Amino acid sequence: MARMIPSVISPETKSGAEKKIFRWFQNAPNTEDWVVFHSLGIAHHQTLIEGEVDFLVVAPQFGIFALEVKGGRVKRTDGMWTFTNRGGDVTTKSRGPFEQASEAIYSIMAEIKERADSIHYRVADLHFGFGVMVPDIEYGTMGIDEEPWQVFDCNDGDNVRDFIIRIAEGSKKKYEETYGRLNPSKLPTSQDAKYLISILRSDFDKILAIKARINNAEQELVELTEKQYKCLDQIEENRRGIVYGPAGTGKTLLAIEQAKKSVAQGKKVALICFNSSIGTWFETYFQELAEEYKPIYVGTFHKLLLHIINLAGETVSVPTDANAKKDFYEEVLPSKVFEILIDNPLMEFDEIVIDEAQDLVRDNYIDIIDLLLKKGFEHGYWKFFGDFSRQAIYADGVDGREMIEHLEDRTSFIRYKLTENCRNTKQICDDIQTITGYDAPKDLWTKVEGLPVDHKTCSSDEEQLEKLESLLKELQDKNIENGKITILSPKSKENSIVSRIECVKIKDYDFKSSENVTFSTIQSFKGLENSVVILTDVNSYSVVNLMYVALSRARTALYIFESKNAHNEYSDLLKRRLLNG
């Protein structure tokens, strides 16, 4: 089986021929070290502003080959090509598939030469070729610009491996007729194939990133790091896995992509989180995607439990008292749902993907997941994404190591650690390290330079209010969009200094809003982010996990309004860090 990149063909691929060929490569025997790229974008195409090749095959010991696919009927008359798909739609082009494939492989090899580093320079000189695949017809006549060995048609069945070997031998013979014997060093190795992944995949394997900015909850395309790609590849091959890492390492983004991939494979998937704000974002995000990507359930764990109660035809009342509400969600509601599912399995998922898993590792929650999951928690498919070291603020004193050990008592799974921060600037990362004492790996913190973290010390609430309103006016004067500013506090809004602000309208956080500066408690903003974060009501830095969550929410600018007591704590922490080197 060849390694397919991406590992699942997009449901948006319209070509039935491409879908068939994707499966054929995916299941081809004796191709374990091959890498097959589907729909590879070419930013610097030879003749077009940008282009795309249907398949690019890197086959160790054979070469690199670009393949153009044409499904349905193919006809050539007086140099003009006519393509008719199964729906009867007709397209006429002067550029034929052989010309397209030829231009694509030369453009790709030029791009490889441009990107290859000095250690891997040889990949730019590897043997290459191209071919055309027309799996729906028998391709009889040949023109002067093509060779029989370059064509895959219906007579080849699904034997894509032999086709690649045929292209390799044909292109080698053609090379040797012109240049002499082909040096074996020009044939790619398995290591060459792995290196080519690192320099080619970023052109096509992009996924939507979560940007918790309020201005239209914009969705931007970002490139994942190679380590994050490796994470997706590794967990793809295992039924159960935990992906863990500090804030800003892309866990939520990877959870979304894992859910989408599994749905595209035909699985019934639930994408679950803890935080209600993230749950709402998830719901809106998937509403805008094609049906082929949508999980069966998207949202918070407790909302799922309430949904099950409704499916059972029963009702429950959520208490208004804070203590009673906590007990309801942690004990009463799970117990009720467990009783229902034991007697009547109303829902079942092929795979469950959980973001913020550190807040959902409880025996009674896992018992419910066990009942919801096909083959159960022990043998079924599940992927947990979380920060088990610093963001488990609802763990009731249980640390991350104990959580993972507890899960190991119930079943086996792989672990994958994310170690690259792709959210916060260097200055914000430095402040996180100073305040929380987090001994991060050297490669975690980003090298991206940004604004210094601005600590504003206040001796009274009146001074804090005055400085906060002054800052908000300053940001307005600098044309910072309101929607890019979020104020966080360890206190509820009515108990925060924010309740006294009059100069600017402050709205409770809602990712859809783009008109106002927003407010959220630190706890409710966990997993989210914004460009500018203002942290208020800081009387102490002693609650380390809470501070870690608060500080890591800012992408580019962070302002902290601290009391004199908190300022003294910060000064001591800074001195301690400097003394410890």
Give residue 417's pLDDT band: very low, low, confident or very high (50, 70, 90): confident
DSSP label of 349: B
Give residue 513's pLDDT band: very low, low, confident or very high (50, 70, 90): low
Sorted by where each starts, the structural domains of the chain and their CATH numbers stand as 3-203 (no CATH), 226-417 (3.40.50.300), 426-579 (3.40.50.300)
Q: Residues 343-367: what's their mean pLDDT?
A: 93
- The bridge status of strand 240-244 relative to strand 414-417 is parallel
Give me the sign of the Cα torsion angle 391, 394, 397, 399.
negative
Q: Residues 387-394: what's their mean pLDDT?
A: 64
Q: Where does 180-241 have alpha helices with state H?
A: 190-200, 226-236
Residues 541 and 548: their CA atoms lie apart, in Å, by 10
Give residue 271's pLDDT band: very low, low, confident or very high (50, 70, 90): very high
Q: How far is CA 383 from CA 69, 320, 350, 414, in A?
A: 35, 33, 12, 10
Q: Which of 299, 306, 300, 275 is nearest to 285 (CA)?
A: 299
What three-state secondary structure class fits 339?
A: helix
CA 129 vs. chain centroid, Å, equals 33
Task: Work out the burial of residue 138: count CB atoms within 10 Å of its CB; fewer than 13 is exposed, 13-18 middle, 19 or more buried.
Answer: exposed
pLDDT at res. 397: 60
Residues 558 and 454: their CA atoms lie apart, in Å, by 6
One-letter identity of residue 459? S
Model pLDDT for residues 166-216, shown as the tens digit of each residue: 999 999 999 999 889 999 999 999 988 888 887 786 544 444 433 333 233
One-letter identity of residue 371? L
- Quick count: other Cβ atoms within 10 Å of Cβ 77? 8
Residues 343 and 333: their CA atoms lie apart, in Å, by 16
pLDDT at res. 444: 54
- Quick count: other Cβ atoms within 10 Å of Cβ 503? 12
